Amino acid sequence: MALTGKVETDVHIKSSAAKFHDMFTHKPHHISNVSGSNIQGCDLHEGDWGTVGTIVCWNYVHDGKACVAKEKIEAIDAEKNLVTFRVLEGDLMDHYKSFVITLQANPKDEVEGCTVHWTMEYEKHHGDITDPHTLLQLAVEVSNDIDAHLTADVKEIDTPMANSKFGKVETHIDIKACAERFYDIWLNKPHQIPNMITSHTRARLTSVDVHGDDRHSGGKVGTLSSWNYVQDGKAKVAEEIIESIERENKSVTWKVIGGDLLEHYKSFKFILQITTQNGDQALSVAYWILEYEKVNDNVPDPHGLLQLVIDVNKDVDAHLNT
C-alpha cells in the first residue's frame, strides 16, 4: 500500500474568488467567527498575515476531537487566488510524516461566484493510516460557512464577536509538564493551585475552594468550587460547577453559576483541553476557551481574565517541572 497520497475536491460558492482567498491569507483569524463549530481559532505564531513563511496555529474540531495544527504558509499566489499551508506540528503529525494543504479559488465564467479546489497531499507513517477524507469534508464545511458569511452583505469585523453579546476569547499554551499530571491538577486538585503559583500571580488568584467531599475524592461532573481572584484592584469570586469532563481527551468545562462575573455576563464558561504533540506526554498544549454572553454590548471582552488564566497556567507548569 502506498504511503504517499492525495485527496481533493471542489466546492462551488457564491462569493468572489478574491474575497475567499483573502480570508485564508490575510484574515484566517476571522474564520472561527463564521465557522465556530469547526474552527476554534487561528493564532499568528510567527511573521505577518498574508506573507509567505508566516507560521500560524489552527485550533479545530476533527471527528469530534479538538485538534491543533501548526502550519507554515508555503506559497501565496494572489493572481491565481492560491495559498499553500505545510503542517509542521500537531495532531496530524501523529499519523502523517508530511501534510500539505492547498486551496485555490477559481472564478466562474460569466456568472458570479467561484470554485474552490482543495488539495491535501501527505505521506503516512504506515499503511494502516486512513486517507484524510473526513478532514477534506471539514474543509468543505468551512468553505460553505465562509461563503455564507461573505455573501450575507455584512461588514467584516476585526475582533471576535464584535457588536455581539455572544463571544469567546481563546489561547493555546505550550506546556512542559506531563499532560496527565497537568490535567489532574486542574480537574481533581484545583485547591492546590494557589500554592503552586508565584507571589505575583498569587496576588491575583488568592484561593480556590472545592466544596464537599469532592476536595478529597476528585473532580466530577457537578463538582462545585469557588475561585477567589483580584481584578482591577477589587477582590472577586466566581462560583463554578464542572459541566462536562472528557478524560480521554483531557478536557473539562466549568460553568459560572454565581459571583461577580454574572453582573456583566448572562453566561460564562471556562473550557480547558490538553493535547499531546506526537503522542509525547511531555510535549503538550493547553488550549483555553472562555465563552460568554454579555449582559449588554458595553461589557468588554474578558481579555484581562484570559491573561490571568495564562499566567496561572504557566506557573502551574513551571511548578510541576521543578
Which of 150, 175, 205 delimits the end of a domain? 150
Whether 160 shows a pLDDT value over 70: the answer reads: no
Residues 101 and 187 both lie in one domain:
no
- The model's pLDDT over 77-117, given as tens digits with 9 standing for 90+, comes to 999 999 999 999 999 999 999 999 999 999 987 678 899 99
Task: Give a yes or no: residue 157 inside a domain.
Answer: no
What is the rounded average pLDDT of the residues 52-69?
94
Q: Domain range spanning residue 224?
A: 166-320
What is the rounded CA–CA span in Å between residue 259 and residue 236? 7
Question: Which amino acid is it at 110?
Answer: E
Q: Which helix (H) or strand (E) holds 283?
A: strand 280-294
Nearest to 246 by CA among 287, 191, 292: 287
Higher-scoring residue by pLDDT: 159, 45 = 45
- The model's pLDDT over 109-158, given as tens digits with 9 standing for 90+, comes to 767 889 999 999 999 999 888 888 889 989 999 999 999 888 874 333 33
Q: How many domains does the chain have?
A: 2
What CATH number is associated with residue 123? 3.30.530.20
Name beta bridge partners: 70.
Answer: 57, 89
Which of 150, 180, 210 delimits the end of a domain? 150
204 CA to centre of own chain: 25
Decide: 250 and 183 in contact? Cβ < 8 Å. Answer: yes
Task: Give a yes or no: residue 298 inside a domain.
Answer: yes
pLDDT the model gives residue 216: 78
Based on the number of CB atoms within 10 Å of its own CB, is 99 exposed (0-12), middle (13-18) or buried (19 or more)?
Answer: buried
Residues 177 and 316 both lie in one domain:
yes
Residues 180 and 141 both lie in one domain:
no
Residues 172 and 107 both lie in one domain:
no
Decide: 259 and 265 in contact? Cβ < 8 Å. Answer: no
Q: What SS3 state is found at 261?
A: helix
Which of 120, 150, 180 delimits the end of a domain? 150
Residues 253 and 138 both lie in one domain:
no
Residues 86 and 175 both lie in one domain:
no
Residues 115 and 188 both lie in one domain:
no
Task: Give a yes or no: residue 160 inside a domain.
Answer: no
Number of Cβ atoms within 10 Å of the Cβ of 272 = 19
Q: Which ranges of 70-178 would DSSP assign to H, the alpha helix?
A: 133-150
Whether 67 shows a pLDDT value over 80: the answer reads: yes
Task: Give a yes or no: residue 156 inside a domain.
Answer: no
- The model's pLDDT over 183-206, given as tens digits with 9 standing for 90+, comes to 999 999 999 999 999 998 899 999
pLDDT the model gives residue 2: 63
Whether 281 shows a pLDDT value over 60: the answer reads: no
pLDDT-based confidence at 284, cuts 50/70/90?
A: confident
The proportion of the chain whose per-residue pLDDT surpasses 70, expressed as a percent, equals 93
Task: Give a yes or no: residue 159 inside a domain.
Answer: no
Task: Give a yes or no: residue 116 inside a domain.
Answer: yes
Task: Give a yes or no: residue 235 inside a domain.
Answer: yes
Residues 82 and 207 both lie in one domain:
no
What is the rounded average pLDDT of the residues 1-18?
85
Whether 300 shows a pLDDT value over 90: the answer reads: no
- pTM exceeding 0.75: no
Task: Give a yes or no: residue 155 inside a domain.
Answer: no
pLDDT the model gives residue 156: 38
pLDDT the model gives residue 154: 36
Residues 250 and 293 both lie in one domain:
yes
Residues 182 and 144 both lie in one domain:
no
Average pLDDT along the chain: 88
